[in-house]
Structure formats: C-alpha cells, structure tokens
C-alpha cells in the first residue's frame, strides 16, 4: 500500500511516499529565521507557501501518482498549532478529493517507528531529543509511555538559546558542538535530575552568567555538553533498568551530536544493551516517519473519520494507539542504574553493601562529585526518614572515599515486579509518603523500583536524589513520578493510585495542595 506521509509540526515541511517495503521519496524544506528562534506565524506562512511544491516533488521523485496512493498520513501533533493546521488541511483536502483513507499521527510515534524500521530495533527505550522535545519513551502495558522528559525547556532549545547568546544563528547545536571540541576547563553548572526527568532552564541562566564573567565560549560549550548530556544519559540508563529493555534507540536532531552518541555508547556497553542510531536523514522531522507510523496504525485499526482528524498541539504519545510492538525485556539482577548490590554479614546481621558505580560516560571530575554527593544525600535521607518513622533500611557502616555503605538487608520484592498488587499496599504506600512529606522530606526518585514490599509492608529505598528540606513543588514531583511509574507498570494503575492518594490525604495535611500542584506540573509539560 503506497502511503503519502506529511510532516509539519514545527520548522520543517516534508512529504514522503513509501510502502511496507521501501521509501520511494523524501522531500523536505526547513524554515530558518534570520535571527531568534521559531516564529510560529512565520513558520506557518513558510509551510503554506511550500507544501504544494513539496508534495508534488515527493510524488514526482517516487514515480507514483495520487491515483495509486492508498493512505494519507499527517502529523496531528504535538506541535505548533499554526504549522499543524497547514499540514492537516492539506491532508484532509487530498483525502476528500481522491477518496483516500486518512490517519492522524502522533509526532514522537513517527520518530520511534521510523527508527525501528530503519535500524531493526525491536522494543527499545527511545531517547527523543530535539529543539522542543526531550523524552524517554518505551513500550509498556500495551502502549508507548513517557518514562522521563524535560520539566521546562527541551535540550535543543537550551543549545539554541546559548548559541544565540554567543551570536550564532539557529539552529545552534552544531556551533555548540564545534566550540566544545576546543574546551579544556570544566565549569560548574546546575545538574538537575528528578527521577527520569530533567530540567535545563537553570543551566541556560548559569551559562549566560559565565559569559558575563568572561569565561571562554569553548569552555562554556564543553561544560554545557558534559553536564546536559550526562543528565540525559543518566536518566536514559535509569529507564533501561526500570523497564528491563535490551536496547536503546536515538532519535531527534540533537541525537546527531557526536559527543552525546559517544556517551550513550559507553553507558550502553557498561549496561550490556545495544544502541540503534536512527539514520541522520530520518533523525530530523520528516514525512517518511509519519508515513511509517500511519501504515502501522492503519493496518492495526483502519483509518480516521474526518471529524476525528483535528490537530492536537498537546497530543501525547501515551494517547496514541500502538498494538503492534513485540515485547523484548529482561531482568537485571542485583544491579541498578547507579549501584552494585552485594550481600554480606555485618557482625551477626544480614546486610547489603551498596557501591555507587563509576560512570565512564561522565568526565571523571564530574562523576566523582556526583557519586559522593548522591551517597551522602542517601545516608542523610535514610537517617531523616527513619527519624520520621518512615520504613527504611537501617544503615550499618559508611565508606565515603569509595562511595559505598552497608545497610540492613530487607527480604522483599520491588513493587515494580508486582503487576497486580493488593490495594492495601497502595494505602500503606500512601501513608508512608504522607509521613515523609509531613516531615518536609522529598524522596526525589519515587518510582516503583525504589519501593519494596516485605511481609506485606512497604519499605522505601534509595532516596539519594531526595531533599531534606522539601516544599510543595518537591512533594508534587514525588507524587507525579510515582503516579507515572504506577501507570506504566500496574495493570489497574489508576485504581491503585486512588488508594495511595486517599491514604496520602489522610496522613499529610497539605496533600490537597500537593496533588493540585501535580496537575499544574502536568499542564505545563514541554512537548513542543
């Protein structure tokens, strides 16, 4: 079945003709402003002027006429509404004129499916990094889910903004990459990771401050890449161990950065997983990726009714239909994303020794600082949680220099391994989190992997990213991360979370404010 794929979510207008066996053509044009970032109105005008010519070129180069096209796929969202409207209107007009079925495609779904098609990846964790998007996506419980993302600006947006401050045109990523090659001094920048989420706006502000202080652009660019990419690789590795996937897929324009690819390859070798790199011409937004996702969608459930093809600038990938993925997972024994676990005796007690693993993808100076800080934070938080009567393992001994410590061994199972836990476990979890927040303690990485169930009781572990003086927003990030982890793992996640939140409200007097802030965070999430 020949398919015409149309992409136009942001700066690129693209069309492609393909079928299940071959991509016959790919025609693209990119709006590039003379200064500043993307102007949505100007981008839409660019698309309007060029879409007819792009479609004609794709058809001409493929040698396939509209009379042979069996499906029209278009990017429905997420994206810039003015740009989305141009492509959606063209797609609907062609569908009506030629009586061809139509499918509205989720943009990130296109990236992951063209990557799977071109690389042979089966069931990967995808790192999707572009101007407006920074997401970690994997297939779980019947659909693609966002396991981590930016909490403010996309990584590509960060690079563009810093480059613009240095006088370089859009897009700024290539200039940052080029200057970084001549950097030699690691400058301190914010390192903001919350579970599998990242935040970059503070890093932009810090880079501007360094420019004002007279630091070399080369050193700023090198430091920016080392910090920002280390955050991405750390959260990607955490997603690998959380989901149990065997492979990584890279997609999006920023995925073309050689230093980022090098860091991911080092991490993957250490974790024992395979890396698939989407070919450069399909890393950028393109019509072939929309066509591929459209083919899979149409074969699985048929086309859309015209009234169901309205654009959606906030269209989430976990709202998109995707029933065709074959699961390819494994279990990682006695190993987390950041630590090795060994069993030992501490005098007469059964103990666990936790050693933070040096990361080869990070510069040694940065890696050493992060590992020691995380270990100190975990020990502090475990002590504070214990004082607050939150169930946690007891600490036995500490080795600061080697970033390791020994603690009580808990014979239990990770909550992430319990697909259908008892709802009473949810209530106990809600009370434990309520006690934690009542004592102004924020866990920082409250996922199902960091919750043990032992003798039908809850035990909280690994608060190494926690905050011993948390606030409402910190608590909201805890609850948001927990909710997403639950929904990605448990079959009836919403019902389980209702029990968690009920007990949380009963235990913590400010629970209502926290859960309201969770809604605010979700409303401002960055997808475009």
Q: Quick one: pLDDT band at residue 526, thresholds 50, 70, 90?
A: very low
Q: What are the structure tokens assigned to 514, written together?
A: 């926290």
Distance CA 466, CA 464 (A): 6
Condensed to tens digits (0 to 9), the pLDDT of residues 286-340 reads 999 999 999 999 999 999 999 999 999 989 898 898 999 988 777 655 556 778 8
Distance CA 81, CA 89 (A): 12
Class of domain 339-408: alpha beta
Distance CA 4, CA 58 (A): 9
Q: CA dist 274 to 116, 238, 246, 271, Å?
A: 13, 15, 7, 9
Residue 523 clears pLDDT 80, i.e. is over it: no
Residue 380 CB contacts under 8 Å (≥ 6 apart), including other chains: 468
Distance CA 319, CA 310 (A): 15
pLDDT for the residue 331: 63
109 preceded by cis ω (within 30°)?
no
Pairing outcome for strands 247-251 and 125-129: parallel
Report which DSSP code applies to 325: P
Tell me whether the CATH fold assigned to 2-115+283-319 matches the one assigned to 122-282: yes
Sheet with strand 395-399: strands edge to edge: 339-346, 349-356, 404-408, 395-399
Distance CA 90, CA 462 (A): 51
CATH number of 2-115+283-319: 3.30.420.40
Burial class (CB in 10 A: 0-12, 13-18, 19+), 515: middle
Does the domain at residues 122-282 carry the CATH identifier 3.30.750.80? no
Q: CA dist 397 to 325, 347, 354, 468, Å?
A: 46, 11, 11, 21
pLDDT for the residue 17: 98
Report which DSSP code applies to 407: E
135-172 b/e (C-beta count within 10 Å ≥ 16 → b): bbbbbbeebbbbbbbbbbbbbbbbbbbbbbbbebebbb
> Per CATH, which fold does 413-523 belong to?
Transferase(Phosphotransferase); domain 1 (1.10.510)
Instruction: Please report the DSSP string for 285-323 in residue order.
Output: --HHHHHHHHHHHHHHH----GGG----TT--GGGS---
Most confident of 317-331, 382-396, 466-480: 382-396
Distance CA 328, CA 379 (A): 35
- Is the alpha carbon torsion for 154, 157, 159, 165 positive or negative? negative
Distance CA 100, CA 88 (A): 14
Q: What is the residue extent of each domain of the chain? A: 2-115+283-319, 122-282, 339-408, 413-523
Q: What is the mean pLDDT of the chain?
A: 92
Report which DSSP code applies to 461: -
On the CB side of 132, how many CA atoms lie within 13 Å of its CA?
19
Determine how many CB atoms are found less than 10 A away from the CB of residue 211: 15
Condensed to tens digits (0 to 9), the pLDDT of residues 484-493 reads 888 877 878 8
Q: Which amino acids are annotated catalytic? A: 445
* 27-36, 134-143, 169-178, 516-525: least confident range: 516-525
């Amino acid at each position: 079945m020949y398919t015409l794929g149309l992409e136009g979510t942001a700066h690129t207008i693209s069309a492609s003709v393909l079928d299940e066996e071959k991509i016959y053509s790919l025609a693209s044009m990119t709006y590039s402003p003379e200064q500043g970032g993307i102007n949505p109105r100007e981008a839409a005008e660019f698309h309007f002027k060029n879409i007819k010519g792009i479609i004609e070129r794709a058809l001409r180069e493929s040698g396939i006429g509209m009379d042979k096209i069996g499906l029209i796929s278009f990017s429905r969202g997420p994206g810039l509404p003015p740009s989305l409207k141009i492509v959606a209107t063209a797609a609907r007009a062609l569908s009506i004129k030629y009586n061809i079925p139509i499918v509205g495609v989720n943009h990130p779904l296109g990236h992951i499916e063209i990557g799977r098609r071109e690389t042979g990846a089966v069931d990967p964790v995808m790192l999707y990094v572009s101007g407006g998007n920074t997401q970690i996506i994997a297939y779980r419980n019947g659909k693609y889910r966002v396991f981590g993302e930016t909490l403010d600006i996309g990584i590509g947006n960060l690079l563009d903004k810093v480059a613009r401050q240095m006088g370089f045109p859009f897009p700024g990523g290539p200039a940052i990459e080029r200057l970084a090659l001549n950097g030699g001094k690691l400058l301190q920048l914010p390192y903001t990771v919350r579970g599998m989420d990242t935040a970059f706006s503070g890093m932009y502000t810090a880079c501007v401050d360094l420019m004002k202080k007279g630091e070399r652009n080369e050193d700023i660019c090198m430091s920016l890449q080392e910090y920002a990419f280390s955050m991405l690789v750390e959260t990607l590795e955490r997603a690998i161990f959380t989901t149990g996937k065997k492979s990584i897929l890279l997609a999006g324009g920023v995925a073309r950065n050689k230093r980022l690819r090098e860091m991911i390859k080092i991490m993957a070798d250490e974790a024992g997983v395979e890396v698939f790199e989407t070919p450069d011409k399909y890393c950028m937004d393109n019509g072939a990726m929309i066509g591929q996702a459209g083919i899979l969608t149409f074969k699985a459930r048929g086309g859309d009714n015209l009234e169901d093809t309205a654009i959606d600038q906030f269209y989430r990938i976990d709202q998109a239909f995707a029933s065709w993925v074959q699961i390819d997972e494994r279990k990682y024994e006695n190993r987390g994303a950041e630590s090795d676990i060994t069993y030992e005796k501490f005098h007469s007690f059964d103990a666990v020794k936790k050693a933070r693993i040096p990361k080869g993808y990070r510069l040694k100076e940065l890696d050493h600082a992060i590992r020691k800080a995380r270990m100190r934070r975990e020990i502090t938080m475990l002590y504070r949680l214990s004082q607050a009567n939150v169930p946690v393992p007891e600490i036995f001994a500490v080795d600061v220099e080697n970033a390791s410590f020994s603690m009580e061994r808990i014979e239990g199972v990770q909550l992430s391994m319990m697909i259908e836990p008892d709802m009473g476990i949810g209530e106990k979890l809600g009370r434990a989190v309520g006690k934690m927040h009542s004592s102004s303690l924020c866990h920082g990485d409250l996922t199902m992997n960091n919750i043990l169930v032992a003798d039908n009781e809850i035990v909280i572990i690994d608060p190494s990213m926690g905050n011993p003086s948390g606030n409402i927003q910190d608590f909201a990030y805890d609850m948001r991360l927990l909710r997403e982890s639950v929904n990605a793992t448990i079959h009836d996640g919403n019902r389980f979370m209702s029990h968690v939140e009920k007990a949380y409200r009963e235990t913590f007097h400010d629970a209502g404010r926290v859960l309201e802030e969770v809604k605010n965070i979700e409303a401002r999430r960055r997808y475009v």
